[in-house]
Amino acid sequence: MSETIVGVDLGGTKTQVAAAHDAVLVTNETRPSMDWVQVPWSDAAKWLAATLDDVVPGWRSASQLVVGAHGCDSIAQIEQLRMPLQAMTRAACEVVNDAELVIPASG
């Protein structure tokens, strides 16, 4: 069975989106994110969905979506971003604070 995984590092100044299909990197794009606003989180989810629609058109049918988002500092904030994203995709969706991506990214 094939698998597509989409990962997002959503920071205050830039957003990096990477997608892999069957463990092969197919997309790796960085864009400015200065117009992204966290509050309300539902608007942040819409902004991210529009970005993903542009960068990874098939993201809604991916196997997994993982987002590290600047400003997700509490469980409530994480859920406020995760829930609308989850409603837009069939993927298993996980959201963490973007700082949690530093150690895994360093190898």
23: left (phi over 0), alpha (psi -120 to 50) or beta: left
Mean pLDDT by 10 residues, the chain (107 residues): 92 94 96 88 95 96 96 95 96 93 67
Whole-model pTM: value is 0.92
Contact 63, 49 (CB under 8 A): no
Residue 3's Cα: distance from chain center in Å? 17
Q: Pick from 55, 58, 64, 57: which is nearest to 6 by CA? A: 64
- The pLDDT assigned to 27 comes to 96
